[in-house]
Structure 1
Protein backbone atom coordinates (compact mmCIF):
# COMPACT_ATOMS: atom_id res chain seq x y z
CA UNK A 1 0.00 0.00 0.00
CA UNK A 2 1.40 3.38 -1.05
CA UNK A 3 0.59 6.73 0.46
CA UNK A 4 0.53 10.26 -0.91
CA UNK A 5 0.60 12.06 2.44
CA UNK A 6 3.51 14.46 2.77
CA UNK A 7 5.56 14.26 5.95
CA UNK A 8 8.70 15.79 4.47
CA UNK A 9 10.89 17.35 7.14
CA UNK A 10 9.16 15.48 9.96
CA UNK A 11 11.08 13.47 12.55
CA UNK A 12 9.24 10.43 13.89
CA UNK A 13 9.98 8.04 16.75
CA UNK A 14 8.41 4.57 16.70
CA UNK A 15 8.55 2.15 19.62
CA UNK A 16 8.06 -1.48 18.70
CA UNK A 17 8.83 -0.52 15.13
CA UNK A 18 10.86 -3.52 13.97
CA UNK A 19 8.03 -5.81 12.89
CA UNK A 20 4.34 -5.99 12.05
CA UNK A 21 2.31 -2.80 12.17
CA UNK A 22 5.30 -0.93 13.56
CA UNK A 23 7.45 -1.86 10.58
CA UNK A 24 4.64 -1.13 8.11
CA UNK A 25 4.27 2.30 9.70
CA UNK A 26 8.00 2.98 9.49
CA UNK A 27 7.93 2.17 5.78
CA UNK A 28 4.97 4.49 5.20
CA UNK A 29 6.55 7.28 7.21
CA UNK A 30 9.71 6.98 5.12
CA UNK A 31 7.79 6.88 1.84
CA UNK A 32 6.05 10.07 2.95
CA UNK A 33 9.37 11.87 3.41
CA UNK A 34 9.91 11.59 7.17
CA UNK A 35 13.06 10.62 9.06
CA UNK A 36 12.40 7.71 11.41
CA UNK A 37 13.97 6.46 14.64
CA UNK A 38 13.03 2.91 15.67
CA UNK A 39 13.10 1.61 19.23
CA UNK A 40 12.77 -2.15 19.62
CA UNK A 41 14.30 -4.93 21.69
CA UNK A 42 14.39 -7.27 18.68
CA UNK A 43 17.87 -6.39 17.48
CA UNK A 44 17.92 -8.63 14.42
CA UNK A 45 14.57 -7.40 13.10
CA UNK A 46 15.45 -3.79 13.86
CA UNK A 47 18.76 -3.96 12.02
CA UNK A 48 17.17 -5.77 9.08
CA UNK A 49 14.42 -3.16 8.70
CA UNK A 50 16.69 -0.14 9.12
CA UNK A 51 19.22 -1.59 6.66
CA UNK A 52 16.45 -2.23 4.14
CA UNK A 53 15.10 1.30 4.41
CA UNK A 54 18.53 2.92 4.40
CA UNK A 55 19.42 1.00 1.24
CA UNK A 56 16.32 2.53 -0.36
CA UNK A 57 17.69 5.97 0.46
CA UNK A 58 15.56 6.74 3.52
CA UNK A 59 16.71 8.40 6.75
CA UNK A 60 16.31 5.71 9.43
CA UNK A 61 18.07 4.96 12.72
CA UNK A 62 17.59 1.87 14.89
CA UNK A 63 18.17 1.77 18.64
CA UNK A 64 17.99 -1.54 20.46
CA UNK A 65 15.78 -0.73 23.44
CA UNK A 66 13.50 -2.47 25.91
CA UNK A 67 10.96 0.31 26.34
CA UNK A 68 9.65 -1.22 29.57
CA UNK A 69 12.94 -0.30 31.27
CA UNK A 70 13.28 3.35 32.29
CA UNK A 71 17.07 3.49 32.02
CA UNK A 72 17.08 2.03 28.51
CA UNK A 73 14.40 4.47 27.39
CA UNK A 74 16.35 7.43 28.76
CA UNK A 75 19.55 6.30 27.04
CA UNK A 76 17.79 5.64 23.74
CA UNK A 77 15.97 8.98 23.65
CA UNK A 78 19.24 10.74 24.41
CA UNK A 79 20.81 9.00 21.42
CA UNK A 80 17.84 9.86 19.20
CA UNK A 81 18.24 13.56 19.99
CA UNK A 82 21.90 13.33 19.04
CA UNK A 83 20.83 12.19 15.57
CA UNK A 84 17.58 14.13 15.11
CA UNK A 85 17.02 17.84 15.86
CA UNK A 86 13.55 17.16 17.27
CA UNK A 87 10.70 14.66 17.39
CA UNK A 88 7.50 15.77 15.68
CA UNK A 89 5.60 12.50 16.01
CA UNK A 90 5.76 9.72 18.60
CA UNK A 91 4.15 6.40 17.77
CA UNK A 92 3.96 4.23 20.91
CA UNK A 93 3.37 0.83 19.36
CA UNK A 94 5.41 -1.56 21.54
CA UNK A 95 3.40 -4.16 23.41
CA UNK A 96 3.01 -7.84 24.25
CA UNK A 97 0.12 -10.29 24.48
CA UNK A 98 -0.91 -12.85 27.10
CA UNK A 99 -3.82 -15.26 26.73
CA UNK A 100 -4.56 -17.04 30.01
CA UNK A 101 -7.45 -17.65 32.41
CA UNK A 102 -7.69 -14.80 34.91
CA UNK A 103 -7.25 -16.99 38.00
CA UNK A 104 -4.09 -18.54 36.53
CA UNK A 105 -2.34 -15.22 35.92
CA UNK A 106 0.60 -14.62 38.23
CA UNK A 107 1.61 -11.29 39.71
CA UNK A 108 4.76 -11.47 37.57
CA UNK A 109 2.68 -11.88 34.41
CA UNK A 110 0.45 -8.97 35.44
CA UNK A 111 3.53 -6.79 35.95
CA UNK A 112 5.04 -7.91 32.63
CA UNK A 113 1.90 -6.94 30.71
CA UNK A 114 1.57 -3.61 32.48
CA UNK A 115 5.26 -2.84 32.03
CA UNK A 116 5.39 -3.65 28.32
CA UNK A 117 2.10 -2.04 27.38
CA UNK A 118 1.05 0.80 29.72
CA UNK A 119 4.36 1.59 31.41
CA UNK A 120 6.30 1.62 28.14
CA UNK A 121 3.97 4.30 26.69
CA UNK A 122 4.41 6.32 29.89
CA UNK A 123 8.20 6.01 29.88
CA UNK A 124 8.70 6.99 26.25
CA UNK A 125 6.11 9.79 26.29
CA UNK A 126 7.52 11.45 29.39
CA UNK A 127 10.95 11.63 27.72
CA UNK A 128 9.64 13.01 24.42
CA UNK A 129 6.82 15.30 25.53
CA UNK A 130 9.01 18.03 27.10
CA UNK A 131 10.74 18.71 23.78
CA UNK A 132 7.37 18.76 22.00
CA UNK A 133 6.10 21.34 24.49
CA UNK A 134 9.22 23.42 24.04
CA UNK A 135 8.84 23.48 20.25
CA UNK A 136 5.10 24.15 20.57
CA UNK A 137 3.81 21.17 18.65
CA UNK A 138 3.79 17.39 18.69
CA UNK A 139 1.71 14.38 17.75
CA UNK A 140 1.39 11.19 19.81
CA UNK A 141 -0.26 8.03 18.52
CA UNK A 142 -0.73 5.05 20.82
CA UNK A 143 -1.63 1.51 19.81
CA UNK A 144 -4.53 0.30 21.92
CA UNK A 145 -6.90 -2.57 21.04
CA UNK A 146 -10.54 -3.39 20.43
CA UNK A 147 -10.27 -5.12 23.81
CA UNK A 148 -10.79 -1.78 25.56
CA UNK A 149 -14.39 -1.86 24.37
CA UNK A 150 -15.11 -5.54 23.66
CA UNK A 151 -13.28 -7.53 26.34
CA UNK A 152 -11.71 -10.60 24.82
CA UNK A 153 -12.02 -14.09 26.27
CA UNK A 154 -8.91 -15.09 28.31
CA UNK A 155 -7.22 -11.71 27.77
CA UNK A 156 -8.12 -9.88 30.99
CA UNK A 157 -4.64 -8.64 31.86
CA UNK A 158 -3.90 -7.63 28.27
CA UNK A 159 -7.17 -5.69 28.08
CA UNK A 160 -6.44 -4.04 31.43
CA UNK A 161 -2.95 -2.97 30.40
CA UNK A 162 -4.16 -1.54 27.12
CA UNK A 163 -7.03 0.26 28.83
CA UNK A 164 -4.53 2.01 31.10
CA UNK A 165 -2.45 3.11 28.12
CA UNK A 166 -5.62 4.04 26.22
CA UNK A 167 -6.81 6.44 28.93
CA UNK A 168 -3.30 7.85 29.33
CA UNK A 169 -3.46 8.79 25.66
CA UNK A 170 -6.74 10.66 26.11
CA UNK A 171 -5.66 12.33 29.34
CA UNK A 172 -2.51 13.71 27.70
CA UNK A 173 -4.65 15.17 24.91
CA UNK A 174 -6.86 16.94 27.43
CA UNK A 175 -3.96 18.21 29.54
CA UNK A 176 -1.77 19.49 26.70
CA UNK A 177 -4.21 20.41 23.92
CA UNK A 178 -3.66 24.13 24.39
CA UNK A 179 0.11 23.69 24.20
CA UNK A 180 0.07 22.25 20.70
CA UNK A 181 -0.07 18.54 21.50
CA UNK A 182 -2.35 16.00 19.84
CA UNK A 183 -2.66 12.51 21.33
CA UNK A 184 -4.85 9.78 19.88
CA UNK A 185 -5.25 6.02 20.14
CA UNK A 186 -5.79 3.44 17.43
CA UNK A 187 -7.67 0.25 18.28
CA UNK A 188 -6.98 -2.58 15.83
CA UNK A 189 -8.69 -5.96 15.89
CA UNK A 190 -6.98 -9.10 14.53
CA UNK A 191 -4.10 -8.15 12.22
CA UNK A 192 -1.94 -10.41 10.06
CA UNK A 193 1.26 -10.06 12.08
CA UNK A 194 3.40 -12.32 14.28
CA UNK A 195 1.64 -10.71 17.26
CA UNK A 196 -1.78 -11.49 15.80
CA UNK A 197 -0.86 -15.06 14.84
CA UNK A 198 0.55 -15.65 18.33
CA UNK A 199 -2.70 -14.42 19.84
CA UNK A 200 -4.74 -16.77 17.67
CA UNK A 201 -2.47 -19.71 18.54
CA UNK A 202 -2.67 -18.97 22.26
CA UNK A 203 -6.47 -18.84 22.06
CA UNK A 204 -6.57 -22.14 20.17
CA UNK A 205 -4.35 -23.72 22.81
CA UNK A 206 -7.19 -23.07 25.27
CA UNK A 207 -9.82 -24.48 22.92
CA UNK A 208 -11.15 -21.12 21.78
CA UNK A 209 -12.22 -21.09 18.14
CA UNK A 210 -9.75 -18.70 16.57
CA UNK A 211 -8.88 -19.79 13.07
CA UNK A 212 -8.71 -17.24 10.28
CA UNK A 213 -12.20 -18.36 9.26
CA UNK A 214 -13.44 -17.52 12.77
CA UNK A 215 -11.79 -14.11 12.52
CA UNK A 216 -13.45 -13.60 9.14
CA UNK A 217 -16.86 -14.15 10.75
CA UNK A 218 -16.15 -11.43 13.33
CA UNK A 219 -14.55 -8.79 11.13
CA UNK A 220 -15.09 -9.85 7.51
CA UNK A 221 -11.43 -10.73 6.95
CA UNK A 222 -8.15 -10.41 8.73
CA UNK A 223 -6.64 -6.92 8.70
CA UNK A 224 -3.34 -6.32 6.94
CA UNK A 225 -0.64 -4.36 8.84
CA UNK A 226 -0.52 -1.71 6.12
CA UNK A 227 -4.20 -0.93 6.71
CA UNK A 228 -3.46 -0.05 10.33
CA UNK A 229 -0.30 1.82 9.35
CA UNK A 230 -2.33 4.00 6.97
CA UNK A 231 -4.47 5.14 9.91
CA UNK A 232 -1.35 5.91 11.94
CA UNK A 233 -0.02 7.92 9.01
CA UNK A 234 -3.26 9.90 8.84
CA UNK A 235 -3.11 10.70 12.56
CA UNK A 236 0.55 11.71 12.25
CA UNK A 237 -0.23 14.09 9.39
CA UNK A 238 -1.71 17.58 9.38
CA UNK A 239 -4.81 16.13 7.70
CA UNK A 240 -5.94 15.07 11.20
CA UNK A 241 -5.21 18.47 12.76
CA UNK A 242 -8.58 18.65 14.59
CA UNK A 243 -8.55 15.06 15.85
CA UNK A 244 -7.36 14.97 19.45
CA UNK A 245 -8.15 12.69 22.37
CA UNK A 246 -9.84 10.28 19.97
CA UNK A 247 -9.95 6.53 19.63
CA UNK A 248 -10.04 5.15 16.10
CA UNK A 249 -11.21 1.57 15.81
CA UNK A 250 -9.53 -0.20 12.90
CA UNK A 251 -11.72 -3.30 13.08
CA UNK A 252 -14.22 -3.52 10.20
CA UNK A 253 -17.25 -3.68 12.58
CA UNK A 254 -15.63 -6.05 15.13
CA UNK A 255 -16.83 -3.80 17.98
CA UNK A 256 -19.95 -2.56 16.19
CA UNK A 257 -21.94 -5.81 16.24
Structure 2
Protein backbone atom coordinates (compact mmCIF):
# COMPACT_ATOMS: atom_id res chain seq x y z
CA UNK A 1 0.00 0.00 0.00
CA UNK A 2 1.16 3.56 -0.67
CA UNK A 3 -0.83 5.46 1.96
CA UNK A 4 2.40 6.77 3.51
CA UNK A 5 4.79 6.29 0.60
CA UNK A 6 7.79 8.59 0.79
CA UNK A 7 7.05 9.60 4.37
CA UNK A 8 9.22 9.14 7.44
CA UNK A 9 7.37 8.27 10.65
CA UNK A 10 8.60 8.23 14.24
CA UNK A 11 6.85 6.10 16.85
CA UNK A 12 7.81 6.58 20.49
CA UNK A 13 7.12 3.59 22.69
CA UNK A 14 7.23 1.64 19.45
CA UNK A 15 8.81 -1.61 20.64
CA UNK A 16 5.65 -3.25 21.96
CA UNK A 17 1.88 -3.12 22.28
CA UNK A 18 -0.07 -0.63 20.18
CA UNK A 19 3.18 1.18 19.34
CA UNK A 20 4.61 -1.93 17.67
CA UNK A 21 1.32 -2.48 15.82
CA UNK A 22 1.54 1.08 14.51
CA UNK A 23 5.15 0.54 13.40
CA UNK A 24 4.17 -2.54 11.40
CA UNK A 25 1.13 -0.88 9.83
CA UNK A 26 3.07 2.26 8.90
CA UNK A 27 5.77 0.17 7.24
CA UNK A 28 3.22 -1.98 5.41
CA UNK A 29 1.67 1.21 4.07
CA UNK A 30 4.89 2.67 2.72
CA UNK A 31 6.48 4.68 5.53
CA UNK A 32 10.07 4.44 6.68
CA UNK A 33 9.80 4.13 10.44
CA UNK A 34 12.01 5.31 13.29
CA UNK A 35 11.30 3.24 16.41
CA UNK A 36 12.13 4.99 19.70
CA UNK A 37 11.97 2.97 22.90
CA UNK A 38 14.05 2.04 25.93
CA UNK A 39 13.48 -1.68 25.20
CA UNK A 40 16.52 -2.11 23.02
CA UNK A 41 16.29 -5.79 22.07
CA UNK A 42 12.62 -5.64 21.11
CA UNK A 43 13.01 -2.28 19.39
CA UNK A 44 15.99 -3.32 17.26
CA UNK A 45 14.30 -6.56 16.24
CA UNK A 46 11.17 -4.71 15.16
CA UNK A 47 13.13 -2.06 13.26
CA UNK A 48 15.04 -4.82 11.46
CA UNK A 49 11.76 -6.60 10.69
CA UNK A 50 10.25 -3.56 8.96
CA UNK A 51 13.44 -2.14 7.45
CA UNK A 52 13.36 0.87 9.76
CA UNK A 53 15.72 2.45 12.27
CA UNK A 54 15.88 1.99 16.04
CA UNK A 55 17.01 4.67 18.48
CA UNK A 56 17.12 3.87 22.17
CA UNK A 57 15.77 6.50 24.53
CA UNK A 58 14.19 6.76 27.93
CA UNK A 59 11.50 9.26 26.98
CA UNK A 60 11.56 10.72 30.48
CA UNK A 61 15.07 12.05 29.73
CA UNK A 62 15.00 15.03 27.33
CA UNK A 63 18.63 14.63 26.24
CA UNK A 64 17.98 11.03 25.19
CA UNK A 65 14.83 12.03 23.29
CA UNK A 66 16.65 14.75 21.36
CA UNK A 67 19.54 12.39 20.57
CA UNK A 68 17.13 9.72 19.33
CA UNK A 69 15.36 12.17 17.02
CA UNK A 70 18.70 13.40 15.69
CA UNK A 71 19.92 9.85 15.05
CA UNK A 72 16.69 8.82 13.32
CA UNK A 73 16.67 11.95 11.20
CA UNK A 74 20.27 11.36 10.14
CA UNK A 75 19.41 7.78 9.17
CA UNK A 76 16.07 8.17 7.39
CA UNK A 77 15.36 11.89 7.06
CA UNK A 78 13.15 14.24 9.08
CA UNK A 79 9.90 12.63 10.24
CA UNK A 80 6.70 14.23 8.99
CA UNK A 81 4.58 11.72 10.90
CA UNK A 82 4.87 11.43 14.69
CA UNK A 83 3.04 8.99 16.93
CA UNK A 84 3.73 10.12 20.50
CA UNK A 85 2.73 6.80 22.05
CA UNK A 86 5.23 6.23 24.88
CA UNK A 87 3.69 6.30 28.31
CA UNK A 88 3.21 4.38 31.53
CA UNK A 89 1.09 4.48 34.65
CA UNK A 90 1.13 4.73 38.41
CA UNK A 91 -1.75 3.04 40.22
CA UNK A 92 -1.97 3.95 43.91
CA UNK A 93 -4.49 5.41 46.31
CA UNK A 94 -4.16 9.18 46.05
CA UNK A 95 -2.93 9.68 49.62
CA UNK A 96 -0.15 7.15 49.03
CA UNK A 97 1.05 8.84 45.85
CA UNK A 98 4.43 10.51 46.34
CA UNK A 99 6.15 13.46 44.73
CA UNK A 100 8.58 10.99 43.17
CA UNK A 101 5.59 9.27 41.55
CA UNK A 102 4.37 12.65 40.35
CA UNK A 103 7.71 13.64 38.83
CA UNK A 104 8.19 10.23 37.21
CA UNK A 105 4.77 10.04 35.57
CA UNK A 106 4.69 13.66 34.45
CA UNK A 107 8.11 13.16 32.85
CA UNK A 108 7.16 9.99 30.97
CA UNK A 109 3.59 10.85 30.00
CA UNK A 110 3.71 14.62 29.49
CA UNK A 111 7.19 16.13 29.32
CA UNK A 112 8.26 13.40 26.89
CA UNK A 113 5.60 14.50 24.40
CA UNK A 114 6.58 18.13 24.87
CA UNK A 115 10.27 17.39 24.19
CA UNK A 116 9.65 14.89 21.37
CA UNK A 117 7.30 17.26 19.56
CA UNK A 118 9.73 20.17 19.93
CA UNK A 119 12.48 17.99 18.46
CA UNK A 120 10.43 16.81 15.48
CA UNK A 121 8.48 19.96 14.60
CA UNK A 122 11.33 21.90 12.91
CA UNK A 123 11.69 19.15 10.31
CA UNK A 124 7.94 19.15 9.71
CA UNK A 125 7.92 22.92 9.30
CA UNK A 126 10.80 22.65 6.86
CA UNK A 127 8.83 20.12 4.84
CA UNK A 128 5.69 22.26 5.00
CA UNK A 129 3.57 19.44 6.38
CA UNK A 130 3.26 17.16 9.37
CA UNK A 131 0.82 15.06 11.38
CA UNK A 132 1.15 14.29 15.07
CA UNK A 133 -0.90 11.87 17.16
CA UNK A 134 -0.55 11.76 20.94
CA UNK A 135 -1.79 8.79 22.93
CA UNK A 136 -4.19 9.99 25.59
CA UNK A 137 -6.79 7.75 27.24
CA UNK A 138 -10.35 7.45 28.38
CA UNK A 139 -8.74 8.42 31.70
CA UNK A 140 -8.51 12.01 30.49
CA UNK A 141 -12.28 12.31 30.93
CA UNK A 142 -13.37 9.23 32.91
CA UNK A 143 -11.67 9.19 36.32
CA UNK A 144 -10.79 5.93 38.05
CA UNK A 145 -10.06 5.35 41.75
CA UNK A 146 -6.33 4.86 42.45
CA UNK A 147 -5.43 6.58 39.17
CA UNK A 148 -5.62 10.26 40.10
CA UNK A 149 -2.07 10.94 38.91
CA UNK A 150 -2.48 8.94 35.70
CA UNK A 151 -5.77 10.73 34.97
CA UNK A 152 -4.07 14.11 35.43
CA UNK A 153 -1.29 13.24 32.96
CA UNK A 154 -3.76 12.11 30.31
CA UNK A 155 -5.82 15.26 30.77
CA UNK A 156 -2.62 17.20 30.08
CA UNK A 157 -2.03 15.18 26.92
CA UNK A 158 -5.53 16.09 25.73
CA UNK A 159 -4.83 19.80 26.06
CA UNK A 160 -1.29 19.51 24.71
CA UNK A 161 -2.61 18.05 21.44
CA UNK A 162 -5.24 20.80 21.18
CA UNK A 163 -2.76 23.59 21.86
CA UNK A 164 -0.19 22.34 19.34
CA UNK A 165 -2.96 22.03 16.75
CA UNK A 166 -4.10 25.60 17.31
CA UNK A 167 -0.60 27.10 17.19
CA UNK A 168 0.55 25.26 14.05
CA UNK A 169 -2.68 24.81 12.08
CA UNK A 170 -1.81 27.50 9.57
CA UNK A 171 1.69 26.11 9.03
CA UNK A 172 0.63 22.74 7.67
CA UNK A 173 0.75 20.78 10.92
CA UNK A 174 -2.09 18.74 12.42
CA UNK A 175 -2.09 17.34 15.97
CA UNK A 176 -4.71 15.04 17.45
CA UNK A 177 -5.10 12.63 20.35
CA UNK A 178 -6.13 8.99 20.28
CA UNK A 179 -7.86 7.83 23.46
CA UNK A 180 -8.02 4.09 24.08
CA UNK A 181 -10.06 2.25 26.65
CA UNK A 182 -8.61 -0.85 28.29
CA UNK A 183 -6.21 -2.49 25.80
CA UNK A 184 -5.27 -6.16 25.68
CA UNK A 185 -1.52 -5.62 26.00
CA UNK A 186 0.95 -6.34 28.83
CA UNK A 187 0.56 -2.69 29.89
CA UNK A 188 -3.22 -2.95 29.89
CA UNK A 189 -3.26 -6.25 31.76
CA UNK A 190 -0.84 -4.82 34.33
CA UNK A 191 -3.21 -1.89 34.85
CA UNK A 192 -6.08 -4.30 35.47
CA UNK A 193 -3.99 -6.28 37.97
CA UNK A 194 -2.97 -3.16 39.88
CA UNK A 195 -6.49 -1.77 40.00
CA UNK A 196 -7.79 -5.12 41.22
CA UNK A 197 -5.17 -5.05 44.00
CA UNK A 198 -6.70 -1.80 45.25
CA UNK A 199 -10.27 -3.06 45.09
CA UNK A 200 -11.38 -1.43 41.83
CA UNK A 201 -13.74 -3.68 39.87
CA UNK A 202 -12.10 -4.25 36.51
CA UNK A 203 -13.17 -7.86 36.22
CA UNK A 204 -13.95 -9.33 32.82
CA UNK A 205 -17.61 -8.71 33.57
CA UNK A 206 -17.02 -5.05 34.48
CA UNK A 207 -14.95 -4.40 31.36
CA UNK A 208 -17.56 -6.18 29.23
CA UNK A 209 -20.24 -3.88 30.67
CA UNK A 210 -18.11 -0.75 30.13
CA UNK A 211 -16.69 -1.37 26.65
CA UNK A 212 -17.78 -4.83 25.51
CA UNK A 213 -14.27 -6.31 25.64
CA UNK A 214 -10.63 -5.27 25.82
CA UNK A 215 -9.64 -3.51 22.60
CA UNK A 216 -6.72 -4.87 20.59
CA UNK A 217 -3.45 -3.02 19.99
CA UNK A 218 -4.18 -3.15 16.26
CA UNK A 219 -7.46 -1.27 16.79
CA UNK A 220 -5.64 1.54 18.60
CA UNK A 221 -2.90 1.62 15.93
CA UNK A 222 -5.44 1.74 13.11
CA UNK A 223 -7.16 4.74 14.69
CA UNK A 224 -3.82 6.50 15.09
CA UNK A 225 -2.93 5.81 11.46
CA UNK A 226 -6.21 7.31 10.31
CA UNK A 227 -5.36 10.51 12.19
CA UNK A 228 -1.86 10.53 10.70
CA UNK A 229 -3.13 9.99 7.17
CA UNK A 230 -4.32 12.50 4.58
CA UNK A 231 -7.78 10.96 4.99
CA UNK A 232 -7.94 13.03 8.18
CA UNK A 233 -6.71 16.20 6.47
CA UNK A 234 -9.38 18.36 8.14
CA UNK A 235 -9.24 16.64 11.53
CA UNK A 236 -7.14 18.79 13.84
CA UNK A 237 -7.14 19.32 17.61
CA UNK A 238 -9.50 16.38 18.06
CA UNK A 239 -9.74 13.44 20.45
CA UNK A 240 -10.62 10.10 18.88
CA UNK A 241 -11.92 7.65 21.49
CA UNK A 242 -11.19 3.99 20.81
CA UNK A 243 -13.36 2.63 23.61
CA UNK A 244 -16.51 1.08 22.12
CA UNK A 245 -18.73 3.72 23.79
CA UNK A 246 -17.13 3.51 27.27
CA UNK A 247 -17.13 7.31 27.54
CA UNK A 248 -20.48 7.71 25.73
CA UNK A 249 -22.55 5.92 28.36
| TM-score, normalised via structure 1 length | 0.94
> Which residue pairs with 1:51 in the alignment?
48
Residue correspondences, number? 249
Deviations 1:27-65 (A, max 9, x none): 100110110001001112212322333xxxxx3111111
2:39 is matched with which residue: 31, 39, 42? Answer: 42
> Which residue pairs with 1:56 in the alignment?
none
Pair 1:121 & 2:118 matched: no
Q: Are the counterparts in 2 of residues 41 and 64 from structure 1 also a CA contact under 8 Å?
A: yes
> Which residue pairs with 2:73 in the alignment?
81
2: CA distance, partners of 1:5 / 1:185: 24
- Which ranges in structure 1 are unaligned for 5 or more consecutive residues? 54-58
Q: Which moved more, 1:205-214 or 1:124-133?
A: 205-214
Pair 1:250 & 2:242 matched: yes
2: CA distance, partners of 1:222 / 1:85: 36
Q: Are the counterparts in 2 of residues 68 and 123 from structure 1 also a CA contact under 8 Å?
A: no
2:201 is matched with which residue: 181, 198, 209? Answer: 209
Q: Secondary structure at the match of 1:255?
A: helix
2:9 is matched with which residue: 9, 12, 27? Answer: 12
Q: Are the counterparts in 2 of residues 145 and 188 from structure 1 also a CA contact under 8 Å?
A: yes
Change (3 A) 1:18 1:131: same
Cα drift, residue 5 of structure 1: 6.5
Q: Secondary structure at the match of 2:165?
A: helix
Q: Are the counterparts in 1 of residues 80 and 123 from structure 2 also a CA contact under 8 Å?
A: no
1: CA distance, partners of 2:24 / 2:232: 20
Pair 1:180 & 2:177 matched: no
> Which residue pairs with 1:130 in the alignment?
122
Cα drift, residue 213 of structure 1: 2.8
Q: Secondary structure at the match of 1:242?
A: coil
Q: Secondary structure at the match of 1:63?
A: strand
> Which residue pairs with 1:153 in the alignment?
145
Pair 1:166 & 2:158 matched: yes
CA RMSD in angstroms, aligned pairs only: 1.1
| TM-score, normalised via structure 2 length | 0.97
> Which residue pairs with 1:226 in the alignment?
218
